[in-house]
Amino acid sequence: MLGRFFYGQCSLSEAFWKYSFLGILCLGFISRILMIMLQQTMGYQQNFYALVINCLSFIQANTAGLAFLAFYIASFISLVVYSIICIGGMWNTYKEYNKSKTLAMICVILVVILAFFAIEFSMYHINLARY
């Protein structure tokens, strides 16, 4: 199923809405929720590396923080990998689409923008201007 999408054998609407838009949106949402839960569990630490050290420390041993850290890292990596697959799949769909190349290129650009913002909003960082 995903191989059919990656090799451009789906219709443009199926590739854009079903695989790219909904897939990136769901993975981005899950990664963002896990990032927020990790931030709340670990007390909104500024530095991601300090957060990892605190989770892995034997002295403090925050098991909930360690679990959220593991799930967050796994979901973020899967979001990045799936975004790359979606961009490649949309590009292959663009090459195979014969009706309107302009519409297909707009869909590719929208998927790149969606993937960028999903990854950006799922990264672990705290905006200091809000606090």
Q: Is residue 5 part of a domain?
A: no
Q: Is residue 80 part of a domain?
A: yes
pLDDT tens profile 16-55: 999 999 999 999 999 999 988 888 887 776 667 667 777 7
Q: Is residue 79 part of a domain?
A: yes
The model carries a pTM of 0.83
Q: Is residue 27 part of a domain?
A: yes
Instruction: Give the amino acid at 127.
Output: N
Q: Is residue 76 part of a domain?
A: yes
Q: Is residue 116 part of a domain?
A: yes
Q: In the structure, what pLDDT confidence band is assigned to residue 60 with cuts at 50, 70 and 90?
A: low
Q: Is residue 6 part of a domain?
A: no
Burial of residue 31, with CB atoms counted within 10 A of its CB: 0-12 exposed, 13-18 middle, 19 or more buried: buried
Q: What is the pLDDT of residue 131?
A: 43
Structural domains in the chain (count)? 1
Contacts of 112 (CB under 8 A, 6+ apart): 87
Domain region containing 91? 11-123
Q: Is 97 helix (H, G, I), strand (E, B) or coil?
A: coil
Q: Is residue 64 part of a domain?
A: yes
Q: How many CB atoms lie within 10 A of CB 42?
A: 19
CA atoms within 13 A on the CB side of 31: 26
Burial of residue 131, with CB atoms counted within 10 A of its CB: 0-12 exposed, 13-18 middle, 19 or more buried: exposed
DSSP, res 130: G
